[in-house]
Amino acid sequence: MTLIISDRCLSLKLLIFKLICQCVTPINVSAVAIMVVVTLNLLYQILWVPTDGLPVNWEAILIIILAGFALFKYKLNAAWVVLGSSIIGWGLSYI
The count of other CB atoms within 10 Å of the CB of residue 60 is: 19
Rounded CA separation 1/44 (Å): 65
- pLDDT level of residue 85 (50, 70, 90 thresholds): very high
Cα separation, 16 vs 83, in Å, equals 45
Q: What is the mean pLDDT of residues 33-48?
A: 91
Closest CA to 57 of 65, 68, 45: 45
Domain spans in the chain, listed from the N-terminal domain onward: 1-47, 55-95
| Average confidence score pLDDT of the chain | 83
Q: What is the pTM of this model?
A: 0.61
pLDDT in tens, 72-83: 999 889 999 999
| 53 or 81, higher pLDDT | 81
